Amino acid sequence: MKKVKIHFLGASGTVTGSKYYLETPEQNIMVDCGMFQGLKELREQNWQPLPIDASKIDVVLLTHGHLDHTGYLPRLVKEGFHGKIIGTAPTLAITSIILRDSAKIHEEDAERANAEGYSKHHPALPFYNIKEAEKAIDLFQYGEKDEWIELSENIRFKFRYNGHIIGATFIELDIFGKVFVFSGDIGRKEDVLLSPPEHPKWADYLFMESTYGNKLHPKEDVEEILVTLIKETIHQKGNLIIPSFAVERLQSLMYVLWKLYKKNRIPNIPIFIDSPMGNNVLSVFENNTDWHKLPIDECRAMCNHFNIITSYRDTWKTIDDTRFKVVIAGSGMVTGGRVLTYLKQLIDIPTTTVLLVGFQAEGTRGRQLLEGAHEIKLFGKYIPVKAKIEHFESLSAHADQEELLYWLSNIENIPEKVFLIHGEPLALDAFRVKIKDTFGWQVQIPKLNDTVEVMV
C-alpha cells in the first residue's frame, strides 16, 4: 500500500481559491490554482505564502479557466514552481486571457491607489504583474479530453467534459489503481451555449463542488425578465447595467439578447459590451466550435449586432451617452473591471437598474447589493445606492442541488471518501446531509489548510 497526502489549500469551507495538492510516491500534483475572492480575510490569504514548497510540485492540472481556479498561478511560479500546467485547449486559452487581464487590473489598481492615496500600503503593489503572468503562461501544455495522459509509471489522468464554461472538465486521476475524481465546477443539464456535463462512473476518492448544494435554481423566464427590464429602461430613459462574468455568462447574455432582437421582442436599443476580456473570449468560441452549441455564423452575426467597446476612453463616452441603453460589463460579482466605473457614475441615479445574473460570493459588492446595501465603496469612496437592484440565477453556469445529485448518480461504487469543497458553510452541510440520505455515503467537509492521508 502507498500513501497519498492531500492538502486542502483553497475552496475548503468557502467557495473561492480552489487549490488541492497531492503528494504521492511518484508525482506531486496540484489540481487547480485559484485566487481567493470576496471576504477581506479570504483575499488576505492570497498574499500569504503557501504552506507547501512550490518548487516540489511536478504538475498543475486545471479543471477550467476561471480566476478562482487559475488566478494564483503567477504567484505559484514566483514561489518556485517550474513544472507543467496542463489543461484543455479552451481552458488554456481562457486562462491566458484571464491572467493577462487580471495582471493588468492589479497593476492599474495599484497605480490608482498610489495616485489617489486610498491604500493602507505604501506603496500599493500589484498582486502580480503582466510579466509574472507571462511566466506562468509559458508553462502551459495542452491535454486532449477523454484520453488517459501518463504522468509517471503508476499515475495518469483524464479530462472529461463538464459544461460550466467552454473547456471545463472534471478530472479522473488514477493513482496506483485508485481513482481520484475532482469535479471542478459542474455545469447545467440545460444551458444556452453548452452541452450537458458527462458523469463519472467510478470514484474511490471524490472531491465534489457544492456551490449550490442547498438550493434549486428558480424556474425563471429569462427572456421575459429581460424584455420587461428593457421596456422599463426605455420608459424611464435610464440605464440597465448588467455586471457579467466575462466567460460564458457574457456570451450567453449576448445570445439571448440577440435572439430577442431577431424575434422582434425588443427594439434596436443601444447595447454596449464593455469587457475586454469577454471580447477576447469570443475568439475562443470561434476557435473551439466542438466545445459549444453556437453555430459560427450566428456567433459572428451576434457580435456585429452589439456595440463592442475596446478602449477605456469609449467607456466614458458610453457613460456620457444620454440615450437609454443596456451595458454589459465585467465583473460578474462587481469585484473589479469596467463595471465599477459605470456604477460609480450611475448607481446613485434612480432610473438606473443593476441586474445581477449569477452567484454572488460572500464579501463581494455583488452580494452587498443583493442584500440591500444602501451604499457601496468604489475606488475608496462610498457611493449611495439609489438604483433598482434585480437578480436572476437562471443563467447560472453552476449546477443546483438536483443537478449535482444527478451528476453523482452514475457512480457505480461506494467511494471510500467524499470530500465536499467549493461551497459556503450552509451549502456544504445541506449537501452533506443530502448525499448521505440519497446514497448512504459518508462525507467529510475539510477546512482550509487541512491535510488528509489516504492509502492506495
User: pLDDT tens for residues 172-203?
Assistant: 999 999 999 999 999 999 998 999 999 999 99
E strands, 367-437, in order:
375-378, 381-384, 388-391, 417-421
The three three-digit cell numbers of residue 350, written as one number:
434612480
Give residue 57's pLDDT: 98
Residue 121: per-residue pLDDT: 67
3-215+397-455 in CATH: which number?
3.60.15.10
| Across 210-214, 269-273, 303-307, 421-425, least confident range | 303-307
pLDDT computed for residue 211 by the predictor = 96
Q: Which three cell numbers stand for residue 405?
A: 445529485
- The percent helix, strand, coil of the chain (3-state, each to 5) is 35, 20, 45
C-alpha to C-alpha distance for 207 and 198, rounded to whole angstroms: 16
Q: Quick one: which H or E segment has residue 418?
A: strand 417-421
Q: Which three cell numbers mark 334?
A: 462587481
Cα 100 from Cα 17, distance rounded (Å): 18
At 119, the pLDDT band (50, 70, 90 cuts) reads low
Contacts of residue 328, defined as CB under 8 A and 6 or more positions apart, other chains included, come to: 242, 244, 250, 253, 254, 271, 272, 273, 274, 275, 278
Residue 397's nearest CA partner among 182, 248, 293 is: 248
In this prediction, residue 38 has a pLDDT band, given cuts at 50, 70 and 90, of: confident
| Structural element, H or E, at residue 152 | strand 149-152
User: Quick one: what percent of the chain has pLDDT higher than 70?
Assistant: 99
pLDDT of residue 122: 72
**Which range has the worst mean pLDDT, 11-20, 26-35, 276-285, 367-376?**
276-285
CA separation, residue 402 to residues 53, 54, 213, 216, 339 (Å): 39, 38, 8, 7, 32
DSSP lists the bridge partners of residue 22 as 6, 29
Half-sphere exposure of 295 (CA within 13 A, CB side): 3
DSSP H helices, 218-275, are 222-236, 249-262
Cell numbers that stand for 91 in this block? 481552458
Count the neighbouring beta carbons within 10 Å of the beta carbon of residue 282. 20
For residue 320, give Cα distances in angstroms to 202, 314, 341.
Answer: 56, 10, 12
Helix, strand or coil, per DSSP, at residue 55 = helix
> How would residue 334 be classed by pLDDT, with cut points 50, 70 and 90?
very high
- What is the predicted pLDDT for the residue at 118? 67
pLDDT over 80 (residue 347): yes
Neighbours of 364 (CB within 10 A): 20
More confident residue, 379 or 279: 379
- For the segment 148-167, the average pLDDT, to the nearest whole number, is 97
Phi, psi of 372 (to 5 degrees): 90, 25
Separation between Cα atoms, residue 169 and residue 200, nearest integer Å: 11
Per-residue confidence at 27, pLDDT binned at 50, 70, 90? Answer: very high
Predicted confidence band of residue 106 (pLDDT cuts 50, 70, 90):
confident
Topology of domain 222-391, CATH: Rossmann fold (3.40.50)
Please check whether residue 385 is in contact with residue 410, taking contact to mean a CB–CB distance below 8 angstroms. Answer: no
Kindly report, residue by residue over 253-292, the tens digit of the pLDDT: 999 999 999 999 999 999 999 987 777 888 898 899 999 9
The residue extents of the domains of the chain are 3-215+397-455, 222-391
Quick one: pLDDT at residue 310?
A: 84
Question: pTM here?
Answer: 0.90
